[in-house]
Amino acid sequence: MISSFLRAPIGRVVEPTARALLKRGVTPNQITVMGSIGTIGTSLFFFTRGALFWGTIVMLLFIFSDLVDGTMARIGGATSRFGAFLDSTSDRIVDAALIGSVTFFLDSEDNPLEVVAWIALAAGFLVSYVKARAEASGFTCEGGFAERAERTIILLVSTGFAGLGVPYILAIGIWVLAITSSITALHRVVQVWRQR
């Protein structure tokens, strides 16, 4: 939903970048792996230590790669079943690294918000799992507010402003993430149930 408003302006940056990388012989799968490694490293180095603002800034560079790889595959005609599998698996790794590192930081601070962060983590994975399992069973399953792009935007806006000292913004973001992810997962289950 949020991501649909950003698609056009982001596309104006992503497509030229994708074309330039393809001309240099870089493959979409290489970008996928590089982005995942960068995200994990950034999460471990910044977020787990509470360096939320700089972690967010660096993370944006690697999140950008997640947009580029799919565009490269489409433009270069390099789409494949393995590429789709690798991209989906990498997405789950990135999701775990992002919210998991923030949860680790909250735990190290003895912040009770960590319980809500665990719920957000589990619900986020459930959103993706329900869709994958439903489609594997032949159902249509899509939509809901908290799709992957929306979850990432909510989290990074929260960590970025929290790193700048804005009070309560991290708590608000984690709560919004937990609630909207849970509602989205339920929405998708109901959507599949209606197709039975």
Point out the residues that are catalytic: 91
The H-or-E segment that residue 102 falls in is helix 81-108
Tell me how far apart the terminal alpha carbons of the chain are, to the nearest angstrom.
26
Backbone dihedral region of 124: left (phi > 0), alpha (psi from -120 to 50 degrees) or beta?
A: alpha
Hey, CA dihedral for 41, 42, 46, 50, is it positive or negative?
Answer: negative
What interhelical angle do 169-193 and 113-136 show, nearest 10? 30
CB–CB of 163/60 below 8 Å?
A: no
Q: Is 167 exposed, middle or buried (0-12, 13-18, 19+ CB in 10 A)?
A: exposed
CB–CB of 104/48 below 8 Å?
A: yes
Q: What six digits make up the tokens of 193?
A: 């149930």
